[in-house]
Structure 1
């Protein structure tokens, strides 16, 4: 073969391999970029869900604590103090709202966070139930006190786990 032909073939092979290499690099880079964007999106969705739950729990706690104190103040009286029924209803609505957000948190996970959210929901519902029993004159103040303590413990645990999950570099699955 002539040297010119060999040079021409080498040039064509080099150009084709350069184009193939560039395409492969671009494809891999695009895949990595999509993965990074998906991870960032998932992390943002988790952050939003966790934040909503913490805010809902804070509201629930304020309403629940107020009605809990009001019910304890009237415990043993023939008639509950005015406004207790309305406060108890507000507490109930706040609990229901928070429970909806718990479902969102469980959807986004990870498993440890989902379990903590479930336990928080159970503690929240239990506390509401005990306060409602007190309001009806059927409850036990010690059980209601223990229910609020359990709720506080699970809220703290959820916050700690959420903070840990969101501060770690890799997204938890």
Structure 2
């Protein structure tokens, strides 16, 4: 039997989970699944997060936003740690997060690649995905660039309605 988290930890977890992602402010850190743990040690809030990419340029902003939001909510001493293992996967995005991304015009990721025999092999051939347009729903889409506005997104265009859109990559 596990103990229930304290009111302190529950409140801190709610605050941290509600922080918006700086690159996709339609979703929270909890929606993205990057909040790994919120704990209390001697009155200090310890937060562990996992970046969507190991070199994610938004991590500094995410750490600062978590710390500022916790301080504004009355939590004084805050420590933020980064955990790289296990690596974050798009499978950690909640269904609520996926719904928010779709509502904001993003194409959401499918299932992340799986490999049970070790690392996922890297191929140099272009990646083929079936991506539905978030505007009209058509799967007649074209990859314009594997790299969108941020490293975690690819730029697509719908061949039916002609609208460009970001697709959150499966990782």
TM-score, with normalisation over the residues of structure 2?
0.24
Which of the two has higher C-alpha Rg?
A: 1
Indicate the structure whose relative CO is greater, using CA pairs within 8 Å and at least 6 residues apart: 1
User: When you count helix as a share of all residues, which structure comes out higher?
Assistant: 1
TM-score, with normalisation over the residues of structure 1?
0.24
